[in-house]
Structure 1
Amino acid sequence: MRKIAAIRGYHVLTTAIFVRMDTAAAVAREISISTSRQTVGENLYNELLAAIHAGRFEPGERINDVALARELGISRTPVREALQKLRTLGVVEAEPNRFTRVAVISPETVRDYTIVWGALMRALVDEIDAKVPAKTLRQMKQHATAFRNAVKSGDARKVALENFEFFTSLSTLTTNQPLYRTIESVQHVIRLGSVTLPDWVDIETLSKGQELLLDALTASDLKAAHKALDHLRLILIPGAKSRR
């Protein structure tokens, strides 16, 4: 079983840290607020989510709504709305009157969410009867290739992104909105937690699972799709304590 070393110099912050005003300023400079199709809060939600996954806000780092609103030149209301949505998604955590920060996702949480994710994906492939449009299959193949290339280059965040996009391509096919929203939330938590594990997950098992699932969906073989998802359940999460 081959594993790749974790990102050098990247550490999970296990204790609360002081607000870095320079972070709010830096992220704000990269955010473009538009109201053409989305509300300011929705736009900001998407921008902050991207910033979190890109590592511009690190796990455990506080997000100051006052500083962010000031840097963006907007009121605190849309900032609070965006942060609340991120909290509901699971990538931000808060304690009233104490802090709002990027969630610190433990290995045990990644493991538990991965188990839930497997059950949700099985429900999805059952719903679509393993029948996937050619366009979606092409997208999944592109992300699978990008995933393998990111592994070769050792880019952990790119690996997490392409794996996320691979399965997101499939999850968009459901017409069950509660199922879609739950899968989306679970996948974002796993994606955030995966880059702060003490080591990478078994890449060979993950890559093989993608391959098996693609083959099954290309053949519209529901039984084979179930086996592919069962294969993905074999992935061990580094650092997760075993249950007794």
Structure 2
Amino acid sequence: MTSSMPVAGVRTAGRRGPAAVLLDLDGTLVDTEGLWWTAESEVFAELGHVLDDAHRSVVVGGPMSRSVGHLIEVTGTTAALPELTVAINARFERLVERGAPLMPGAARLLAELTAHSVPTALVSASYRTTIDAMLRSLGREHFSFTLSGDEVTRTKPHPEPYLTAAARLGAAPADCVVVEDTPTGVASARAAGCQVVAVPSVAPIEPAPGVTVLRSLEELTVPLLHSFLRAAS
């Protein structure tokens, strides 16, 4: 398991770039949003419910309790939230074992952040077991630590995950750049006071103050991350 202990010695004064980069996982670094929808669709199909694609953008990027709760409401299933959550996570992990491809530009970006010694953390609404499974593809060495949705009291869109990650790295939130793919994640990062780079996956995201929208991680470089904070200062 990747350490979730505070990381000391992160430089904030006199910095030339971001004090830290905080990265989302599903749909941002790993192309898993489709796998989550497949897992949800298969589990609900076994209960006799066909999920309408219209709900896909609603459940993307949020905690399991919210996503599954929404699907329970729209389908009217009598299955309970805890058992559905366990079933969907188990189905998802089986799908991941067959292979979860990285998003375009993800491997290059992680290698570049590591080469430039930029403190980097993974901040996800996914469970710890899910993160650990996908770290085999991502490489644990690229992250100072990882933070899962079951390791915080309130997950995205609440700011707690990004506030917690910034604090563990000893960085002010305003000196951090968050990379996200969903409106839920962007809302969490903005509420925490971070600069945001959004690379939309399923749901559209509009540019806004403090939110830069890119088409792909292939467009994101360390010099560009530096420029976002210079513009905000």
**TM-score, structure 2 normalization:** 0.25
Instruction: Pick 1 or 2: higher relative contact order, CA cutoff 8 A, min separation 6.
Output: 2
Greater fraction strand: 2
Greater fraction helix: 1
